[in-house]
Structure 1
Amino acid sequence: MRTPLVLASASPARRTTLRAAGLDPIVIVSGVDESQLVDLPPAELALQLAELKCAAVAGRDDVPPDALVLGCDSVLELGGEALGKPTDAENARARWRAMRGRSGVLHTGHCLREAASGRVAAATGSTTVHFAEVSDDEIDAYVATGEPLHVAGAFTIDGIGGAFISGIEGDHHNVVGVSMPLLRELVLELGHGWPDLWA
């Protein structure tokens, strides 16, 4: 019998990644204020935000009782600093000027909860991202597309920004926003079969 998956995220990239892997998540946006957590190490910040999103959705009446609820959040660590979504276009430009030619670590927190029992499995996936030496003109043009304004670290690997990523070390899906191998491990940890989530 199929186990429903609820995605506690508005991210179209996460939804697309899950669908490409054979899952058809029910999307229920958490509405969690991501600015409420400060002064945490980047990997811990990503995990705590994922846990908050998951908890905010898991208790709602519109969640199927037999569902697994997935909360995710991504944070880019650059030079020890946690970078979420940029505040505006100028902030995104400044980020890219700082990131070009350098490497950062994209942390994605994953929290999976059984709606019925409240049991939780959670972990953070981390992938090293190498940024290309991009010009000021390229940065201006990229920011003008609007894409980097809506994503952690001000970049995507699966969109326009993909050309500015010279390589990664680790799971590609984690950079998009949900690590499929890590999610499978969490599903198994809660005693479910991975194929049971396939649509």
Structure 2
Amino acid sequence: MTPPRTPLVLASASPARLQTLRNAGVEPVVIVSGVDESVLDGLPPLELALQLAELKCAAVAERDELPEGALVLGCDSVLDLDGEALGKPGHPEEAVRRWQAMRGRTGVLRTGHCLRDTATGRVAAATASTTVHFADVTDEEVAAYVATGEPLAVAGAFTVDGLGGAFVTGIEGDHHNVVGVSLPLVRDLAAELGHSWTDLWTRR
């Protein structure tokens, strides 16, 4: 396996983001930022997602172990429901409350993306937004889903690529963004910094 011409560092512990990039031909180096996401509590969803992505990207871009000439990608997702930013619920009671509010309704999954070129110091950042329609799930379905533990550690308390997929009746926009990283947006950000998306592919 020949390494890509432009190495990508993913500043995220999300297995879903990693798998999405791998499925698209990119094998990133994962370096978790360790950023305290609570420092920006209270911001509107769009601003929160973008600023958290910028913080994560900046934190990892300062590390010594980066590959030479790497692009560092920071991402963060929140569900925008009636203007409230819903991140990871953290505990079962909150996950149940979220689903009772979400079911039968529509939210917007907002994922901030920040890409830094460590060779030049240039940064490109933007937020992708995807509309998500939720099924009118029953109390029994909510309880069973929360009991699996899946919703506790994901933005908005749901996944579209896991057990929660049956509870999402439709999306409008980029499907990958709901998983956690918008591939078309990352391509655009890379181009803004003078890099081709195909230079990120791992050569086989």
Which TM-score tier does this pair reach, normalised by the shorter chain? Answer: over 0.9
Residue 112 of structure 2 aligns to a residue whose secondary structure is: strand
Taking only the aligned residue pairs, the percentage that are identical comes to 75
Question: Is the 2:104–2:134 contact (alpha carbons within 8 Å) kept by the matching residues of 1?
Answer: yes
- Alignment partner of 1:65 out of 65, 68, 73: 68
Q: How many residues align?
A: 199
Measure, in 2, the Cα distance between the counterparts of 1:116 and 1:192.
12
Measure, in 1, the Cα distance between the counterparts of 2:113 and 2:64.
22
Q: What CA deviation, in whole Å up to 9, does each residue of 1:54-75 have, x standing for no partner?
A: 0000010001130000000001
Measure, in 1, the Cα distance between the counterparts of 2:142 and 2:174.
25
1:7 maps onto 2:6 in alignment:
no
Measure, in 1, the Cα distance between the counterparts of 2:45 and 2:178.
14
Q: How does 1:1-199 map to 2 (within 5 A)?
A: 2-199=5-202
Cα offset, 1:80, TM superposition:
0.9
After TM superposition, which residue ranges in structure 1, 4 or more long, deviate above 3 angstroms?
Answer: none
Residue 132 of structure 2 aligns to a residue whose secondary structure is: strand
Cα offset, 1:107, TM superposition:
0.2
Measure, in 2, the Cα distance between the counterparts of 1:68 and 1:47.
17
Cα offset, 1:39, TM superposition:
2.0
Cα offset, 1:184, TM superposition:
0.3
What is the TM-score of this pair, normalised by structure 2?
0.96
Measure, in 1, the Cα distance between the counterparts of 2:37 and 2:47.
13
Cα offset, 1:87, TM superposition:
2.8
Question: Is the 1:13–1:176 contact (alpha carbons within 8 Å) kept by the matching residues of 2?
Answer: yes
Cα offset, 1:194, TM superposition:
1.0
Question: Is the 1:64–1:115 contact (alpha carbons within 8 Å) kept by the matching residues of 2?
Answer: no
Partner amino acid, structure 1, of 2:138: S
Measure, in 1, the Cα distance between the counterparts of 2:171 and 2:119.
38
What is the TM-score of this pair, normalised by structure 1?
0.99
Measure, in 1, the Cα distance between the counterparts of 2:145 and 2:113.
29
Cα RMSD after superposing both structures = 0.7
Measure, in 2, the Cα distance between the counterparts of 1:98 and 1:39.
19
Question: Is the 1:59–1:115 contact (alpha carbons within 8 Å) kept by the matching residues of 2?
Answer: no
Q: Which runs of 5+ in 2 are unaligned?
A: none
Question: Is the 2:90–2:153 contact (alpha carbons within 8 Å) kept by the matching residues of 1?
Answer: no
Measure, in 1, the Cα distance between the counterparts of 2:144 and 2:156.
17
